[in-house]
Every structure is written in C-alpha cells, then in structure tokens.
Amino acid sequence: MSTDTTPEIRLAGLRKSFGDLEVLRGIDLEVTKGQVVCVIGPSGSGKSTLLRCVNLLEQPSAGTVTVGGVELTDPDADLDRERRRIGMVFQQFNLFGHLSVLDNVALPQRRVLGTDRATAERVARDNLARVGLADKASAFPAQLSGGQQQRAAIARALAMGPEVMLFDEPTSALDPELVGDVLAVMRSLAEEGMTMLVVTHEMSFAREVADRVVFMDGGHVVEDGPARQVIGDPRHERTRGFLARVLDPAAAPLEAGAD
C-alpha cells in the first residue's frame, strides 16, 4: 500500500463528449504515487473513456490531465515523450501475430526508445520472466493461451519502463480459468509499488489489491473510498445496487426493460 501522497495522476474537471453525448461530466480524481485505484461501474458509465483520457488516446473536451507533474492537456506538452512513462494494457492483446513473443516485447523499445537490439532483447527477457513467460520467448502469439497473450502484453508495456500503468478490463476477454494468472501478475506489480489505475469487473481483485475503489455511473464519480469500504459497505444506494447485481447476479431482481 502506498504511503506517498504525491499525485502521480491528477484529473481536474475532466469532460468528454462524443457529439451530443457527454460521456464524462466533470471528473476530479487523483492517484498518488504507488497507489492502486480500481474503477468499477456499469457498462457505458465512462470508465474506459476515463482511462483513455489519461494518456490522451481520447482528447478531453474540457478539464486537465496531469501525470507525473506534467500537464498532458497543455498544448505545448510533448505527448510522445510523456506517453513513454505511461504503460497501457487493453482488453485485447494487440500482439503482432508474425513476430515471436520476444520480438513483440523488444520491438517497441527499439522503435520508440531507440534501444539497440541486444539491450531490448535482454529487457524483454527480463520482463517476460517477470510475468512468468520466460519459456515462451520464442513462441508466437497463436501458440499461447489468451491469458499468456495478455501477460505478454503486460510484459511489453513494462519493458518500456513506465512510471504509471493503466489497465482497461484486462481480463474481460479471457476464459474464467485463465483470469487468475493475469491478476497474479497485476498483484505482484502492486506489491512492487507500481502506480496503477485499473478498470475492472473483478471485484475480489479490487477488494484485496486496490488501495481505493472508484464507482462511476452516468459519467460521474458516485463513490470513491477505501476498497473494502466501497465494496463491503458502500454508502450510496446506486453503488449498493450495482454491487448486488455483480456479486450475486442470480439473486438480483430483473430490472424493467432488461434484456
């Protein structure tokens, strides 16, 4: 758990609209250095858009994004340089099928950081070992399970030496039996002190690993607090209703108009 109160990520008055649809409606959020914050909420609540605004994969309509003391929304910010400090892992693995696992992890270092081949491959092997894939360096993505491919994607992000890691529902595309290995890697990163902002539907991970849990709905932060408090004893009725449906879906009443 983090003891440093330095904001590593700071979102202030963040808004994002797609045409007439306002997806984020004035988000204020801070993640301190070394902290793990999990963002939960129903589909369409703005969670993934929020995450993509942190490294400006989505350009905010209003508000500011500051990472590591640098305002990324400043028109004069060097986004290419600043994005190197932010690793991101998506729902899909986005590995190059024609490259080995080793080359998938080494190539971004060479292309983006200008690292020489020998150094890039050494760093790649170190990070593949870090995620439990040391023996898969010469394999190709099609030869890996979905969980192994996602761990390779995490190794690729880590090999760039990020100060912050963003995870956008990294286990949502996996079969249930493959989820645990990916979450174990994320847990180890948290224990190492990596600053992490995680959009997830894995409530047990959020409760056990996160320092804080943020519940979003309708483009707003409805509740933000210690993980065990938000998941175990939420203060807001909307949070309670959401968690009831997620934690015990068989017991939840059918909502009017639900498919």
Mean pLDDT of the 93-105 span = 96
Alpha carbon distance 168, 50 (integer Å)? 10
Dihedrals phi, psi of 150, to nearest 5 degrees: -70, -35
Question: 125-157: per-residue pLDDT in tens?
Answer: 999 999 999 999 999 999 999 999 999 999 999
Q: What is the mean pLDDT of the chain?
A: 93
Q: Given this model, what pLDDT does residue 255 score?
A: 56
Looking at the chain, the whole-number percentage of residues with pLDDT higher than 90 is 87
Q: Given this model, what pLDDT does residue 176 score?
A: 87
Structure tokens at 27: 């988000």
Question: 204-248: per-residue pLDDT in tens?
Answer: 999 999 999 999 999 999 999 999 999 999 999 999 999 999 987
- Whether residue 137 contacts residue 100, with contact meaning beta carbons closer than 8 Å, is answered with yes
CA distances from 214 to 31, 70, 144, 160, 171 (A): 11, 23, 33, 27, 18
| Residue among 83, 101, 168 at smallest CA distance from 138 | 101
Dihedrals phi, psi of 153, to nearest 5 degrees: -65, -35
Domains along the chain with CATH numbers: 1-85+163-249 (3.40.50.300), 96-161 (no CATH)
Mean pLDDT of the 2-22 span = 88
